[in-house]
Structure 1
Amino acid sequence: MRIVLVGPPGAGKGTQAAYLAKNLSIPHISTGDLFRANISQGTELGLRAKAFMDAGDLVPDEITIGMAQDRMEQPDAEGGFLLDGFPRNVSQAEALDEMLKTESMKLDAVLDLEVPEEEVVKRIAGRRICRNDSAHVFHVSYTPPKTEGVCDACGGELYQRGDDAEGTVRNRLDVYHTQTEPIIDYYKAQGLVVTISALGEVKDVTQRAMDALKKTGTS
């Protein structure tokens, strides 16, 4: 089972990827984890990526592709994997196809988590983090604190991260529409895309995804 997970920022990809990977008994491979692991281990790809990141530049596709390939060649990924955050654009999708082709493999499904744009903005822009402990997370609409601006757990001040501000969220969505969304059409041409609504409770979205994958014969 080789699955790619796509969706806009705020669709809950990370949460769903963890549940789906567990249910399907395949490793969850995220680009964020790949970058952190390679940088902390001081690999050649990690050092090259860090140089670009420290300069405030985007990491070139070839480095991201190299990290993904190394990870997919690990023993635990022999029976399949769930990719989260890769491929991020059509050129990465083409590179992934070539990688799999050389190993006589192919993707089984591309799971597209669909969320209305205004819901994405509401989900992310409403998030508030505790200054004392970033694990304490609230939401002005969904999980508000008992006292506005105050953490229920420790009394710390709640604040909105800069990258959660509405203007920043809309910019991130523009980048998604321009760079990542085209891979959905790319994979639709291969008959691989399964689209589900990512609205509702986490467990309901997971069940929806599992049901949709079963219909494709993937799970």
Structure 2
Amino acid sequence: MLNIVLFGPPGAGKGTQSQKLIEKYQLVHLSTGDLLRGEINAGTTLGLKAKELMDKGILVPDEVVVGMIENKIKENSMAKGFIFDGFPRTVTQAQALDYMLSQNNTAITCMIALEVEDEELFKRVLLRGQTSGRPDDQNETLVRKRITEYNEKTLPVADYYRKQNKYLSVYGIGEIDEIFSTICSKIDTIS
């Protein structure tokens, strides 16, 4: 089973590359945002718990998110693998994910980290904001804050996977297809 953590700051190209990876390797896309909305809409126990917390402005705890991911993995037990998008964001989440996957007889194959300089990210996200409709993509202060937040809080997850020899760095500037080709060549050497 091919399980990929697609990693990178806002604007690195994760959305673009994840769609191409899903198609090529026939992976199931696991986006924590989509999972939360899906569980809430389905009225599941986890979804109701998440909605209650979100309505109070409280972050959904890791165990709830990991539970939703586990449900999706069990629903897709015949999948060729999964691509994790937006998760894990902290080392604690990575550890919880690893434990849950081991309980389901699988593991993370690799982390693909899209490396892009901060100023390029800033430009990309503001450009995306012109068409995305997302207010957080249009506010320069918020964009810089999101990039800083990533560098301070999320970047340590890369070290977690680096220590497991699962970290693969890909330079995220250039033609989309060239970046995709580089990603695939790295995946193909380990899978």
Aligned-residue sequence identity (percent) comes to 40
* Equivalent pair of 1:27/1:76 in contact (CA under 8 Å): no
Which residue does the alignment assign to 1:82?
Answer: 83
Amino acid at match of 1:182: P
Structure 1 unaligned segments of length 5 or more: list them.
Answer: 130-136, 139-158
Deviation at 1:60, TM superposition (A): 1.3
Deviation at 1:192, TM superposition (A): 0.2
* Equivalent pair of 2:7/2:113 in contact (CA under 8 Å): yes
TM-score (norm: length of structure 2) = 0.91
Which residue does the alignment assign to 1:14?
Answer: 15
The 3 A distance-change label for structure 1 pair 77 and 163 is: farther
* Equivalent pair of 2:10/2:121 in contact (CA under 8 Å): yes
| Secondary structure, counterpart of 1:28 in structure 2 | strand
Which residue does the alignment assign to 2:67?
Answer: 66
Counterpart check, 1:167 vs 2:141 = yes
* Equivalent pair of 2:5/2:110 in contact (CA under 8 Å): yes
Counterpart check, 1:214 vs 2:184 = no
Task: Give the count of matched residue pairs.
Answer: 190
* Equivalent pair of 1:4/1:110 in contact (CA under 8 Å): yes
Task: Between 190-199 and 69-78, report the one with greater CA deviation.
Answer: 69-78
* Equivalent pair of 1:49/1:63 in contact (CA under 8 Å): yes
Which residue does the alignment assign to 2:5?
Answer: 4
| Secondary structure, counterpart of 2:111 in structure 1 | strand
Provide the rounded CA distance (Å) in 2 between the counterparts of 1:128 and 1:99.
36
Provide the rounded CA distance (Å) in 2 between the counterparts of 1:166 and 1:205.
27
- Determine which structure has more spread, i.e. the larger CA radius of gyration: 1
* Equivalent pair of 1:30/1:84 in contact (CA under 8 Å): yes
Aligned residues: CA RMSD? 1.9
Which residue does the alignment assign to 1:54?
Answer: 55
Which residue does the alignment assign to 1:190?
Answer: 164
Which residue does the alignment assign to 2:106?
Answer: 105
* Equivalent pair of 1:27/1:80 in contact (CA under 8 Å): yes
In the TM superposition, 1:90-129 aligns within 5 A as: 90-129=91-130
- Which one has the bigger helix percentage? 2
Amino acid at match of 2:41: S
Structure 2 unaligned segments of length 5 or more: list them.
Answer: none
* Equivalent pair of 1:27/1:77 in contact (CA under 8 Å): no
Moved over 6 A (4+): none
Amino acid at match of 1:120: L
| Secondary structure, counterpart of 1:50 in structure 2 | helix
Task: Between 55-64 and 29-38, report the one with greater CA deviation.
Answer: 55-64
